[in-house]
Every structure is written in structure tokens, then in C-alpha cells.
């Protein structure tokens, strides 16, 4: 990755995909060569303009971009066809339904695509499907790091570090605050979040019209509070042995859809028992001025570079964002 | 490491080495088979009693242990001779002089020892010498993770995670508190710390008699305060690109040698600039009830298991404790 820029494609051009385009445009080690959404895709061997992509309105499509935009019915298929020109992929697609991302990655595997991937996947059941792809990805010599955003991702990795000081972990609590000035910028993310509210399911949340989402937000003055969300932090921490049961990982938070100011400070709190039997707590606290994009896209690209490092060493397959820390010794 | 316990040797039986013995005795994935100090060594294929080692008085030697203790003039040489029976080594030796640990590891390389190592090395100049051993360790197929304690180690790794959210890191500040009920339990560590005080050097601190150390501590009511210490966190964070200059990493702290209560809360504070130009700060905060041993030995063993994983994948050489996180994309 040091010699020539890593050629990156972004799948999805919602709030996260667009933010990633902007981030990549500032990195000399990465070049954004492709991006797609439901309406089409854009490709340029020399690199797409991340700032231009960032400015596309929520209802717009990357197919309309000045340079390289193409309307088509199957934009994922077009990206797969460009596979030999793409080194790494950031998956910024919706988690809904739970098998949505896994089925798309299967298409890459079936086409024999060999490269690296990260995603910012959140739901536990969606991530379970990703780990099913391990054998297929190994066969095509691809390396995939899942749950590489903020939570799971940055905060979950911090929990693995925090766990090092303890003989036993009693609880990992992640409490996040997100503020966005307009929910329209994060339509898919917010529908995914609504699915966590009492009375909603993945299916009913996905089926909500924009007007219905707005009515729901109006009734709550733009704020959504989530308790005990189904978040794959639990799976990732159980997988590496930080907790012996997923129930010990608790994720919740507050999203304000009408102000970019965070309603609460995002904090990972790990409580454990030390060798001498003391109960204590380590914390990882994110600065309020950092945005969701900073805390999701930054780590996702950092893990993408790590995935490239792993692939270079012939380490293929699916890994969680918690799997390259110091390990838990049992 | 899952199938049979990893057979561990500890080099050094001061406060840290003894604590590590106790930690390992609680782990089914690791078995302490050897430990040494200046007076001799102890070895048992079936495993040494970590609790017994932990209770050796400061002036005692592992050579006096009931089972397996042997007096000898060159205990390191004896451990090297046992090399085929040792999978992993935790280096809990003094950093003083700066080339002390590097010269010992060279002996392992010269003898063709192949295995894994971690250390809790602190000084920048001492760590620089470790990275010189990269080629030699690769030749014997050994994997060494340096700076794998608390700082550098746990807190430095947390800085790598924190850096993911920022486009540019302005400062990493590590401010630690350590409380020990008796300085006699950490004679080497405290001499190393004294070397950081104004008016002392590595050489003069090492030459202090116990009485001189006690007089120094008496004059300060048992408390030592350190500003801008030479700590290898700077080298490790520069190496992975978290900072562009070592000057941006500042390490200091307060050690109370007369109370196990921490005089200040240990905190890593990373200040950076986000994509939108905002200055913000992420923090990693350690619980006051966790001891120096918890925060040094826990990570050192976690990194030892990671080193084993790396070696199993034919990844040999010297790495810093910051090198298996998500990477910094430039």
C-alpha cells in the first residue's frame, strides 16, 4: 500500500458512503476509483472526486456524476466486473435485511474477486452471516474485516484492550451519542436504528416511507433513545473471549436528528475483576466534537489498510475488528 | 496455544516477574516452566508454582525455590540451554543499562532459539536497540513484541485506536498514577524511574544503594513526580504514523511508594483535528483499583499470545505493541 495507492471502491452512497469518499480523497495511500448506489455507479481509473460525491443530495445518485457516472440496473454487478481494477472495498450498504450484505459479498466470491473488504455492519444476526463466508473468501484469497466502524469497531476494539487488565469481565457497556443536522443524510442508518425501537422489526422499519419516518421523529422531537440494541459488539467480544456470554455486552444510545451536537458523550465502559479480586472500570471516551463519520469511516479505512497487510501475508478469510488486538489468555 | 499450554519462561524475578508468575498460574493456556534472576533459576517441565514464586521476599532468589531451584552464575545461559522446552518468554528484566535487554536477546538469537517474546520495556533508547534485532529474530523464526506493558503497551495501543477518528494528531499525553505499598517490591522499576528525575541519569540511578534510594524517597514523602519522561510510547506511535514527531508524545506521572492507592488516575489523552477542522480529544482511562501489575502483566501476556499467533502464521521479527491495531492511513 506504500508504493501505489490502494484502489478503493465504496459500495453504497448514503451518508456513510459519501463521507468515506470525502475521507479517501484526502489520503495519498488510497484512491477512490469506484462508488455505486441503487441508481448506478461511477468509475475512474485516475480517481473520482470525493468532494463532488460528498455534495450529492440525498435523493441524487452517483450515476449522475459529471465524470464516470453511469445509470444501470445492477450497479453491484458492474463493480464486480471492474474487480481487477479494485484492491479494496468499503461496504457502506444498509444492514437490512440481515442477509443483504452477505448476499452481495457472495456475488464477489462467486465471481472470483480477490481483494480486501471492511464494513460498518451493526446487527448481530447480520454479522453472523458474514462469518459464514470465511471459507469462500479464503478460497478466493480475500480478507474481510467486519464490524469495523465505531460500534462495533473502534469502541469494541477498545474493550479488548481494556479487558487485558482483568481476570474476568463482568460487563461491557457502550453508550453512544450521535447528532446529525438532518436525518435525510442518513436515511438507511436511521431506519436501521428505528428497527431497534420497541414495536418495530427490521422489516417494518425498512418499509417505512420517508413521511412515516418524519412523523415518528416529530413525535419524539427528533430524538431517538435506544436501550439494549442488537449490536454485534456482543458477538465480536464473545468471539475473542472478552466476555463468556453475549448478555454481558450492552449497547444503547441517543440519536438527535436535528442537531449535529451530540446529545450524550460516547463511552465504552468495561467493568471487570482484577487478580486481587477488586472490581474496577476502564473507560474509552470519544470527544464530543468528533462526528459519526469521523468515528465510523476513520476506523473502517484503518482496518481496510490492516486487511491489506493481512492479505499481503496470505492471511485470508473473515475476521472481526476485535481480532488483531492483544489476545485474551484463558 | 489452544491444544497444549504454551510453555513460558520469565526472565527476571523482581516485582514484575513475580506478578507475571502469579498471573500465569491462573491461565490454562499458559504454563510457567522456568524463571530466573541474578542468583539462579528454577525449571519444571510440569510447571512451577506461581504463588510460591510470588511470595519470595525481595532479597530472595528463585534459586532457593523448593522445587527446581538451582544456584548458578549465568542463569540466562541456563534458560537458553532449556530453549527447546520453552515456547514463549516474558522479559521482565531491568531496562538499565539501555542495551541490557537487547544483549540478552542477542544471546538467544546466537543460540538459535526459536519462539516468542514480549517485554515491558519503557525507555526509548532501550527500545531502539530492540528494533535492531529484527533481522536476527527473523532468521531464527522468532516473533518479539516490544513495549507490551501498560505504557508503552496498553495506553499506547489505545492511542492508535483513538487516532483513527482524526485527520491529524496534535498530542498524545499519557499521565499515569502508580501506588505500591513498598518500594522494595519494585526495586528495579523504581531505579529506572529515578533515572528520569532531574539530576539523575540511567547510570547514576542504577548505582544508587538501597539506602540512597530510601533517603531520596524520604525527602519526597515517598512520592516521585515525573514530567516528560523518556518513554518509548513516542517511538512506537511515530513508527505507526499516529504522530509525525516524537515530541508530540508526552509521558509523565506520579508514583507513590508508600500506598497502593493510586495518587492520580492513569489516562491517555489524544488530541487531534477532525476532517471538519474541529479539535477534539479521545481518552482512555484506567480504573484506580487496577494495579501496576494488572496493567503491565495482563497486556504483556495478551501480546505474548498474539506473538504466538503471528509466529504460527510465519510472521517473524520485532514488532511494537502498536502494530496490530487498525492502521493509520496516510
Q: Tens of pLDDT along A56-98?
A: 988 899 999 887 899 999 999 999 999 999 999 999 998 878 8
Query: Residue B1 has what pLDDT?
Result: 45
Query: Residue B184 has what pLDDT?
Result: 86
**A309 contacts B290? CB cut-off 8 A:** no
Compute the average pLDDT of residues B267-290. 97
Coil vs helix vs strand at A47: coil
**A22 contacts B302? CB cut-off 8 A:** no
pLDDT in tens, B5-35: 999 999 999 999 999 999 999 999 999 999 9
Is A57 known to be catalytic?
Answer: no
Query: Residue A11 has what pLDDT?
Result: 98
**B293 contacts A309? CB cut-off 8 A:** no
**B327 contacts A302? CB cut-off 8 A:** yes
Q: In chain B, what residues touch A289 (CB-CB under 8 Å)? A: 274, 278-280
Is A221 known to be catalytic?
Answer: no
C-beta of residue A325 within 8 angstroms of C-beta of residue B324: yes
Tell me, yes or no, if A276 comes closer than 8 A to chain B by beta carbon: yes
**A276 contacts B291? CB cut-off 8 A:** yes
C-beta of residue A328 within 8 angstroms of C-beta of residue A243: no
Compute the average pLDDT of residues B272-294. 96
d(CA B251, CA B263): 16
Q: In chain B, what residues touch A281 (CB-CB under 8 Å)? A: 287
C-beta of residue B61 within 8 angstroms of C-beta of residue B13: yes
Query: Residue A196 has what pLDDT?
Result: 87
Tell me, yes or no, if A239 comes closer than 8 A to chain B by beta carbon: no
**A165 contacts B298? CB cut-off 8 A:** yes
User: Can you tell me which residue has the cell 495519498?
Assistant: A28
Tell me, yes or no, if A107 comes closer than 8 A to chain B by beta carbon: no
d(CA B74, CA B77): 5
pLDDT in tens, B79-117: 999 999 999 999 999 887 889 999 999 999 999 999 999
For A31, A88, B119, the CA distances from A28, given in Å and listed in that order, are 7, 15, 34
d(CA A283, CA A158): 9
Say what the pTM is. Answer: 0.95
Q: In chain A, what residues touch B8 (CB-CB under 8 Å)? A: none
Query: Residue A1 has what pLDDT?
Result: 45
Could you tell me the pLDDT band of residue A131, with boundaries at 50, 70 and 90?
very high
Nearest chain A residue to B311 by CA: give it.
A313
Query: Residue A94 has what pLDDT?
Result: 84
pLDDT in tens, A199-250: 998 889 989 999 999 999 999 999 999 999 999 999 999 999 999 999 999 9
Compute the average pLDDT of residues B129-148. 98
Q: Spot the catalytic one: A18, A52, A84, A196.
A: A196
Higher local confidence (pLDDT), A233 or B186: A233
* Assigned superfamily of B6-150+293-320: NAD(P)-binding Rossmann-like Domain (3.40.50.720)
Could you tell me the pLDDT band of residue B260, with boundaries at 50, 70 and 90?
confident
Q: Where are the beta strands (DSSP E) in chain A?
A: 6-11, 30-37, 40-43, 69-71, 88-91, 116-119, 143-146, 168-179, 223-226, 249-256, 267-273, 279-285, 317-320
Nearest chain B residue to A266 by CA: give it.
B282
Query: Residue A184 has what pLDDT?
Result: 86
C-beta of residue A253 within 8 angstroms of C-beta of residue A177: yes
Taking a contact as any Cβ pair under 8 Å apart, which residues of chain A between 140 and 179 contact chain B? 148, 154, 157-158, 161-162, 164-167
- In this structure, what C-alpha cell is assigned to residue B219? 525527602
Q: Which of B278, B295, B326 to mutate to test the interface with A (most CBs of A within 10 A)?
A: B326
d(CA B200, CA B205): 6
| Residues of B identified as active-site | 122, 192, 196
The domain segmentation of chain B, as residue ranges, is 6-150+293-320, 154-288
The single-letter DSSP state of residue A19 is H
**B313 contacts A290? CB cut-off 8 A:** no
Cα dihedral sign, B217-B220-B226-B227: negative
SS (H, E, C) A76-126: HHHHHHCHHHCCEEEECCCCCCCCHHHHHHHHHHHCCCCCEEEECCCCHHH
Amino acid at each position: 500500500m506504500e508504493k501505489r495507492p490502494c484502489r478503493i471502491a465504496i459500495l453504497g452512497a448514503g451518508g456513510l458512503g459519501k463521507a468515506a469518499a470525502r475521507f479517501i480523497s484526502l489520503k495519498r495511500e488510497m484512491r477512490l476509483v469506484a462508488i455505486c448506489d441503487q441508481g448506478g455507479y461511477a468509475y475512474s481509473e485516475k480517481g473520482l472526486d470525493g468532494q463532488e460525491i460528498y455534495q450529492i443530495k440525498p435523493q441524487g445518485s452517483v450515476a449522475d456524476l459529471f465524470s464516470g457516472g453511469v445509470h444501470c440496473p445492477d450497479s453491484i454487478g458492474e463493480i464486480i466486473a471492474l474487480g481487477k481494477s479494485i484492491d479494496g472495498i468499503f461496504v457502506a450498504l444498509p444492514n437490512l435485511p440481515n442477509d443483504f450484505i452477505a448476499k452481495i459479498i457472495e456475488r464477489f466470491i462467486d465471481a472470483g474477486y480477490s481483494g480486501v473488504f471492511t464494513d460498518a455492519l451493526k446487527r448481530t444476526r447480520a454479522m453472523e452471516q458474514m462469518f459464514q463466508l470465511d471459507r469462500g473468501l479464503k478460497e478466493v484469497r480475500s480478507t474481510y474485516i467486519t464490524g469495523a466502524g465505531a460500534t462495533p469497531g473502534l469502541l469494541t476494539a477498545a474493550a479488548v484492550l481494556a479487558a487485558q487488565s482483568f481476570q474476568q469481565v463482568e460487563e461491557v457497556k457502550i453508550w453512544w451519542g450521535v447528532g446529525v443536522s438532518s436525518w435525510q443524510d442518513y436515511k438507511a442508518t436511521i431506519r436501521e436504528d428505528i428497527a431497534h425501537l420497541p414495536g418495530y422489526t427490521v422489516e417494518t422499519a425498512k418499509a417505512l416511507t420517508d413521511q412515516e419516518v418524519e412523523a415518528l421523529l416529530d413525535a419524539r422531537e427528533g430524538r431517538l433513545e435506544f436501550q439494549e440494541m442488537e449490536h454485534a459488539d456482543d458477538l465480536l467480544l464473545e468471539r475473542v473471549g472478552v466476555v463468556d456470554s453475549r448478555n454481558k455486552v450492552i449497547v444503547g444510545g441517543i440519536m438527535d436528528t436535528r442537531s449535529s451536537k451530540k446529545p450524550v458523550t460516547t463511552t465504552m465502559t468495561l467493568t471487570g475483576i482484577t487478580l486481587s479480586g477488586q472490581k474496577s472500570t476502564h473507560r474509552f471516551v470519544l470527544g464530543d466534537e468528533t462526528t459519526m463519520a469521523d468515528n465510523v469511516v476513520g476506523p473502517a479505512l484503518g482496518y481496510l489498510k490492516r486487511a491489506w497487510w493481512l492479505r499481503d501475508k496470505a492471511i485470508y478469510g473473515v475476521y472481526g475488528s476485535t481480532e488483531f488486538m492483544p489476545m485474551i489468555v484463558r
